[in-house]
Amino acid sequence: MKPARPARFVSFALLLLATGCDDMSKQHKENPYASADSAPAEPVPGTVEYHDAPHPVPRLTMGLLQRGRDEYHAFCAPCHAETGNGDGMVVQRGFPAPLPLMAAGGQTGGPMHLHDVITSGQGIMYGFAQRIGSDDRWAIVAYLYALGRSQHATRADMTPEQLARAP
Ligand code: HEC
């Protein structure tokens, strides 16, 4: 090997050492929470305090289910797909695929688990607490049950009118 190369590499490394190792954590900056006095005790005027306190579960109505369908299509279907199969557009573009939501003939883990996952996220899925209100999160849970049931419906689930029209 020619000696010029290592020499050039060493001088480059020295240059990096001299210029590139500025520790930014040591530079001067304001820390707004440095003293307890400066932490805001009251909400800033013009803003609303955010609490995610336990919230009553809304009544199950057709309107709630329809709201849940719309919210699911807007917020969840991009990844989970309208069917819940987990092959939504974002996944088709490379995001890791979630497991099918309806795997066990309906829902994974029960309504509280579903509400928790929507609220706080799970694994690489982010939570929706800031984007979807508690009632709407319950609406999505209700819709997931309806979606699961629709995919595992039997003749016993059908009304006499539906049965009359069925093949
Ligand atoms: C950006 C893509 C993305 C979006 C948007 C998204 N999810 Fe997910 N979701 C995932 C992925 C990926 C997982 C698997 C997470 C893991 O375990 O790492 C997951 C997991 C879940 C699970 C857990 C299933 C189980 O095994 O318990 C539920 C339930 C769920 N999502 C529901 C929803 C609902 C409802 C919405 C809409 C409010 C939503 N997700 C929005 C990607 C997404």
Q: What is the pLDDT of residue 54?
A: 62
**pTM of the full predicted structure?**
0.71
Residue 153 pLDDT more than 50?
Answer: yes
Residues 6+ apart with CB under 8 A from 99: 86, 108
Least confident of 9-13, 37-41, 50-54, 67-71: 37-41
Ligand 1 center–CA 60 separation, angstroms: 23
88 CB under 6 A from ligand 1?
no
Across the range 113-142, mean pLDDT stands at 93
Asked if 84 contacts 148 with a C-beta cutoff of 8 angstroms, the reply is yes
68 CB under 6 A from ligand 1?
no
Q: Which of 117, 126, 132, 135 to mutate to test the pocket of ligand 1 (most atoms within 8 A of CB)?
A: 117
Q: What are phi and psi of 125, to 5 degrees?
A: -80, 125
Across the range 120-146, mean pLDDT stands at 94
Residue 81 pLDDT more than 90?
Answer: yes
CATH of 62-153, one of 3.30.200.210, 2.40.40.20, 3.30.300.30, 1.10.760.10: 1.10.760.10
Least confident of 29-33, 53-57, 87-91, 114-118: 29-33
Smallest CA-to-CA distance from 114 within 84, 77, 140, 78 is with 140
What are the sequence ranges of the domains in the chain? 62-153
Q: What is the pLDDT of residue 10?
A: 66
Higher-confidence residue of 164 and 25: namely 164
User: How many other β-carbons are positioned within 10 Å of the β-carbon of residue 60?
Assistant: 14
118 CB under 6 A from ligand 1?
yes
